[in-house]
Amino acid sequence: MRYVQEFRDPKAAQGVLRAIEAVCTEIGCTADDPLRIMEICGGHTHAIFRYGLDKLVPAGIEFIHGPGCPVCVLPMARVDDCVEIAEQPGVIFCTFGDAMRVPGTRKSLLQAKADGADIRMVYSPLDALELARRNPDREVVFFGLGFETTTPSTALTLQQAKREEIGNFSVFCNHITVPPPIRALLEDPHMILDGFVGPGHVSMVTGIHCYDFVADEFGKPIVVAGFEPLDLLQSVLMVLRQIAEGRAEVENQYARVVPEHGNPVSLAAIADVYEPRPSFEWRGLGEIDASGLRIREGYRAWDTEAKFGIGYGARPKVAEPEGCACGAVMTGRMKPVACPQFGRGCTPDTPLGALMVSSEGACAAYWTYGGARAVAAAE
């Protein structure tokens, strides 16, 4: 089962689905007493809705959509920081396109751009570094955002900036890491989870042993998964088999891309450039210990926080907008359609909460693949 066409083969999917049904029967999970399986990665959330996998699996399985969309969990105060930096004279502010529409207290980056700030959407942090080379009289800031999948790209870019002594470039670091929020969720007494589908491309960088604690300390199965429908179904089956057999292990369904010990160059670059912050705020989840990264002393000259005097936590925390239930949705306590704002005050065109902004947010995915119809049908 190596190639994509095989990962979309309806016959193979039927086979896996039948196996899933058999294990569900063996475990005895039902719609009233379902097994709750969390997919951590926003890419998986997107794929589950796109292929309707939540409807394909037996009613005894409930998908809980985890906090794995970096745009969605970014606290509003950090968006305000971005706008403040971008509006300073002489700054070219570079960002991935995904972050442009995230609402801040005053405005989003998109609105700041419309108001005249020089904000550029770039594909890669290397584009931002190139802008710094070409504009030596301007201060170029790159908005570093994302999990371990994108963290190596900014780390390697900062190493390059230091080697070339490009002084007018810096990174506004908002990188976060996957294992700490999993621990926080497992320690939350209100959260009842039976197992995890682990992120694929994060694990390509980290390897699979950063999840050992999920199995060893909390006794929950976790299976690192690919992004094709059959990858996800097979991973769910692997989680179920562990539960049925009373095992709790870290397994790797996505071994065709994920090496057991990750990518050594990327891990070395991350360790060289970044260190954990004592804690970092996650939208909907609050402060989580050692879940965010900051730039080490040796790269201070390329650290936007040092350069612009913007420390983490200096700005007062910003409450979620009135009626926004992103936090409850993100911890699995509420389904997107149960939010009073879903499809009314909050749509992908006019997002109120972060889960509606990115295509990997649970609400946006839900809306795009059937939620809009659900709201229309209810009215």
Binding mask 319-348 for other proteins (x = CB under 8 A): ------------------------------
Total binding residues toward other proteins, as defined by CB under 8 A: 47
User: Using CB under 8 A, which of 146, 198, 336, 361 touches other proteins?
Assistant: 146
Contact between residue 295 and residue 273 where contact means Cβ atoms under 8 Å apart: yes
Across the chain, the runs of DSSP E, i.e. the strands, are 35-41, 61-68, 91-95, 119-121, 139-146, 169-175, 195-198, 222-224, 250-252, 274-276, 279-282, 286-289, 293-295
User: Using CB under 8 A, which of 156, 166, 184, 354 touches other proteins?
Assistant: 156
- When asked if residue 94 is in the footprint of other proteins (CB under 8 A), the reply is yes
Phi and psi at residue 230, to the nearest 5°: -70, -30
Residue span binding other proteins (CB under 8 A) among the ranges 29-37, 128-136, 287-295, 305-313: 128-136
Q: How far is the CB of 136 from other proteins (least distance, A)?
A: 14
HSE-CB at 379 with a 13 A cutoff on CA atoms is 11
User: Using CB under 8 A, which of 23, 38, 161, 205 touches other proteins?
Assistant: 205
At which residue do the structure tokens 């999990």 appear? 147
SS3 of 307-361: the string is HHCCCCCCCCCCCCCCCCCHHHHHCCCCCHHHCCCECCCECCCCCCCHHHCCCCC
User: What whole-number distance in Å separates Cα of residue 282 and Cα of residue 70?
Assistant: 9
Q: How far is the CB of 240 from other proteins (least distance, A)?
A: 26
- 66 vs 125 by CB, closer to other proteins: 125
- When asked if residue 145 is in the footprint of other proteins (CB under 8 A), the reply is yes
User: What whole-number distance in Å separates Cα of residue 184 and Cα of residue 197?
Assistant: 16
- 228 vs 303 by CB, closer to other proteins: 228
Say which residues have a Cβ less than 8 Å from residue 147's Cβ, sequence separation at least 6. 68, 70, 175, 176, 177, 178, 199, 202
Q: How far is the CB of 32 from other proteins (least distance, A)?
A: 35
Q: Pseudo-torsion of CA 373, 103, 183, 28, nearest 10°?
A: -10
Q: How far is the CB of 25 from other proteins (least distance, A)?
A: 32
- 44 vs 283 by CB, closer to other proteins: 44
- 23 vs 155 by CB, closer to other proteins: 155
Q: How far is the CB of 247 from other proteins (least distance, A)?
A: 29
- 53 vs 205 by CB, closer to other proteins: 205
Give the interface with other proteins as residue ranges (CB under 8 A). Answer: 2-5, 8, 41-43, 50, 70, 94, 96-98, 113, 120-127, 130-131, 134, 145-147, 149-150, 152-153, 156, 160, 201, 204-205, 228, 256-257, 263-266, 269, 360
